[in-house]
Amino acid sequence: AEEALRKTEKLAAAGRLAASIAHEINNPLEAVTNLLYLLQTHPELDSTAREYVSTAQAELARVSEITQQTLRFYRQSTFPVQTQVAEVLDSVLALHQLRLGSARITVERELDPTVALFGFSGELRQLFANLIGNAIDAMVGGGRLIVRARYGTGRSLRGTWCEGVRVTVSDTGTGMSEETRRRLFEPFYTTKDATGTGLGLWVSDEIIRKHSGTARVKSRQGEISGTTFAIFFPKDGLNGVRSLSNDAAKEAANA
């Protein structure tokens, strides 16, 4: 447990570092974005140069997306609260309603409305949004999205069985290759060249760990394909983190 806590502390430190780097990068990034815009609209620019500039703009937009995503994530971290899991999942699904409809995806919900989890609700929302977003991305030609939340038993980080909350997100999408299956939690690993950042599952993994949770991924390709992410949160999972978040709160108050 002590090692798990040390790891959480390390992750928190890495998070603060990432956030401050993202913050520092943001201002010069804005400046360069504005300068490129001026250049783009400069009357003396020939068409080749204009093309170079617009490529640079597109790449810069990607950098900007990555820093924004990092900042958004680390800003939310305040203190853990009792979180209604079904409510959070419903609101994430509502947010995606348009995309679900236009992609011809049917949604099946098996959500126990009494399921509650003591955790960082903003981050839990982000975790579920990442899983659901990925599931939708994987079902371009339509399919079924199944979202479940219930109480149950599962394995804790230490490998012992305990009571807790299980959340499952399943899709009938493309499934993953062996390589993707192995690398999906790595930062910047993405198979969506233009649209992906490869940060979604890396961040998700960190959120799961922060709640002492565990993730199991099942995926298959072929005639019947699809992916299931099963997340288990042990009931007393945040005990170690609570003191950490108090430290973080103190730090924020002193800042």
Residue closer to ligand ADP, measured from CB, 130 or 212: 130
Determine, following the binding rule CB under 6 A, whether residue 123 of this chain makes contact with ligand ADP: no
Determine, following the binding rule CB under 6 A, whether residue 66 of this chain makes contact with ligand ADP: no
Residue in 77, 83, 172, 197 binding ligand ADP, rule: CB under 6 A: 197
Determine, following the binding rule CB under 6 A, whether residue 134 of this chain makes contact with ligand ADP: yes
Rounded least distance, CB 176 to ligand ADP, Å: 5
158 vs 179: CA distance, rounded Å: 27
Residue in 191, 215, 218, 248 binding ligand ADP, rule: CB under 6 A: 191
Segment (H or E) for 49: helix 47-76
Residue closer to ligand ADP, measured from CB, 53 or 92: 92
What is the three-class DSSP state of 130? helix
Determine, following the binding rule CB under 6 A, whether residue 173 of this chain makes contact with ligand ADP: yes
Determine, following the binding rule CB under 6 A, whether residue 67 of this chain makes contact with ligand ADP: no
213 vs 85: CA distance, rounded Å: 14
- The conformational region for residue 155 under phi > 0 = left, psi -120 to 50 = alpha, else beta, is beta
The closest of 97, 116, 210 to 167, measured between CA atoms, is 116
Burial status of residue 33 (CB atoms within 10 A of its CB: 0-12, 13-18, 19 or more): middle
Stretch near ligand ADP under the rule CB under 6 A, chosen from 21-29, 98-106, 185-193, 236-244: 185-193
Segment (H or E) for 226: strand 226-234
Q: Which residues pair with 81 in a beta bridge?
A: 119
Total residues contacting ligand ADP by CB under 6 A comes to 22
Which parts of this chain interact with ligand ADP (CB under 6 A)? 130, 134-135, 138, 171, 173-174, 176, 180, 184, 189-192, 196-202, 227
